[in-house]
Amino acid sequence: MYKRILLKLSGEVLSGEDKKGFDEKALEYLAEEIKSVVKHGINLGMVIGAGNLFRGRELEGVTNSIGDHIGMLGTVINALYLKDYFEKKGIKTVVVSQIVNLPSVRTIHYDDIELYFNAGYVVIFAGGTSNPFFTTDTAAALRAVEMKADVLIKATKVDGIYDKDPKKYQDAKKYDKITYDEAINLGLKIMDTEAFSICKRYKMPIIVLNFFERNSLLNSILDSKIGTFVKP
Ligand code: UDP
């Protein structure tokens, strides 16, 4: 069983697939999945994307760097929305970030992160890497290493990594285990190359799983045989 995990969720987890904004059913599902993990006393850090609100590259006519700043602020909006929702469902949650100065957001400080975990809080890392031209996958890799996670769990809509897109090819083969280099070379856009590289450099294992299969998150933490395991 893993004791400390970093969970990377894309913004779409809050809105439902190909939708924008927030969806009550999606939030409820997410809160239930998180609650089941917290009940086991697992230290849970989360990085949330902003695909349900803004992605820099999708903002037509907006300068790249500014678009990305808007995207990063979107992750803060999501984090605060989630914090409020989680707290109402009885999940103690703290939002940390380096990009905003708000009374509801705490500055990232390593010593404090330990205190939050020891006190049973879920820690949401908002604001991506704090830099434009990156994505929240890379932020997840950085935060996983920083918080000394046992594993980075990348929540997706597919139940693991395949040799080709399983939505397009019926004969696609799923990997139970794969190396970082193999995952990068497949070029399937499961995660950014930057994120894989950071995990490879610091030997941070990754589990790619289907978040929408009930209990897959908890089962992967308890048993680790769910999805695809990316390792050195
Ligand atoms: N972003 C950024 N730097 C980061 C992380 C995110 O500039 O370190 C911006 C970027 O514009 C990105 C948006 O925030 O498109 C939302 O992040 P992402 O695309 O990773 O969200 P997801 O697809 O996971 O919902």
Q: Would you mind telling me the total number of residues written for the chain in this entry?
A: 232
Distance 210 CA to ligand 1 centre (A): 20
CA 12 to ligand 1: nearest atom: 25
Q: Is 155 in the pocket of ligand 1 (CB under 6 A)?
A: no
As for how many domains the chain has, the answer is 1
Given this model, what pLDDT does residue 109 score? 94
What's the domain range around 188?
Answer: 4-231
Pocket test for ligand 1, best of 13, 58, 75 (most atoms within 8 A of CB): 75
Distance 105 CA to ligand 1 centre (A): 19
Query: What is the Å distance from ligand 1's center to 138 Cα?
Result: 9
Q: Is the CB of 15 under 6 A from ligand 1?
A: no
Quick one: pLDDT at residue 224? 67
> Ligand 1: distance of its center to the CA of 134 in Å?
7
**Mean pLDDT in runs of 10 for the chain (232 residues)?**
97 90 96 97 97 96 98 98 98 98 96 96 98 98 98 94 90 95 88 95 97 96 90 87
H-assigned helices in 10-149:
12-15, 24-38, 64-88, 110-118, 136-146
Q: Which neighbouring-strand residues pair with 154?
A: 8, 208
* Helix, strand, coil percentages in the chain from 3-state DSSP, rounded to 5: 40, 20, 40
Give the CATH number of the domain where residue 178 resides.
Answer: 3.40.1160.10
Residue type, 17: E
Terminus-to-terminus CA distance in the chain, angstroms?
Answer: 19
CA angle at 80 for the pair 76 and 86, rounded to the nearest 5°: 140
Give the per-residue pLDDT at 7.
Answer: 98
For the chain, the farthest-separated pair of C-alpha atoms sits apart, in whole angstroms, at: 52
The response to whether residue 73 sits with its C-beta less than 6 Å from ligand 1 reads: no
Ligand 1 center to residue 223 CA distance, Å? 30
For residue 168, the SS3 value is: coil
Global pTM value: 0.97
Contacts of 230 (CB under 8 A, 6+ apart): 161, 177, 178, 179, 180, 183, 196, 199, 205, 206, 207, 208
